[in-house]
Structures are given as structure tokens and as C-alpha cells.
Amino acid sequence: MAMFPSLMNDTMFSDLFDDPFFEGWRNVDHAVAGGPTMQTGMMNTDVRETDKDYIVDIDMPGFRKDDISLNLQNGYLTVSARRDDSHEDKDGNGRWLRRERYASSCSRSFYVGEDVKDSDIHASYKDGTLCLEMPMPDMR
């Protein structure tokens, strides 16, 4: 259980601002800095613990496997995804009838420990869910 709170970025104050009074203020620092805020329901994460490893399931609907990247640096595993789609319809004369563009990106970091290596993390992606498996610190 030692790594579980770190994976979820939990602290003893995690629930302090869960009161509805603070709704809308959670991402205010990103909004003020001009950075992106995470949409509701984006990258929802479940962490399971087995006898020998941690299994992290991250919901990433709408992203393809090639849109997702993992980066391990200084004990932090960062999961990022970026998608750019465009759709264009023209009539027979080449006149635009409709042009649509959509771009989306999201990122989330987890502290996994300084001793974790790239080769320790196994990833798979199926049906919009990224599954990461990594050993517990004492099981490596």
C-alpha cells in the first residue's frame, strides 16, 4: 500500500476541497496561467493492487493508440495524448460546404518511484482504456 497514495497524488488534504462550494476553483490556477484544464471525465483513473504489481486503468475515449505517449522521468510517469482531426466536404465545383476541425490533448502524471525503469512498465490499449502494469517496489 505504500505506493498507492503516491500514484493517485493523494495527501491527507485530498478531500479538503471536495465540498461543492469549491466547484469551479479546482483548475483556476491553470486557467489563470492560460494552460489547459482537464475536462470532466477525461483520463479517469483506477488503480488496483495485486500481490506483485499495480495495475492502472486510464479512460482515454476517442484517442487512438498512436495518439498516446508515455514518459518516465525523475520517478514520474506522464501519460499524454494528442489528437487532431479535420473533416472537409466540397461540392463538385470545389466550393466549401463545411469545414470542421477538432483538436484535443490531455496529460496526467503519477509518481511511481525513482527506481522504476521503462522496462518495468507494461502498457496495452483496448476499447479506449490504457492499462499500465508495474511491479511493486519490493517485487522488482
Strands of 76-90's sheet, edge to edge? 68-73, 76-90, 96-111
Domains of the chain, by residue range, sit at 4-139
Query: Class of 4-139 per CATH?
Result: mainly beta
Pairing of strands 53-59, 45-49: antiparallel
Residues 77, 68: contact at Cβ < 8 Å? no
pLDDT tens series, the chain, 140 aa: 445 555 555 555 555 555 555 555 555 444 444 444 445 556 899 999 999 899 999 999 889 999 999 999 999 999 999 988 776 666 777 777 677 777 888 999 988 888 999 999 999 999 999 999 998 876 54
Q: How far apart are CA 53 and CA 57, in angstroms?
A: 13
The pLDDT assigned to 8 comes to 56
Answer yes or no: pTM beyond 0.75: no
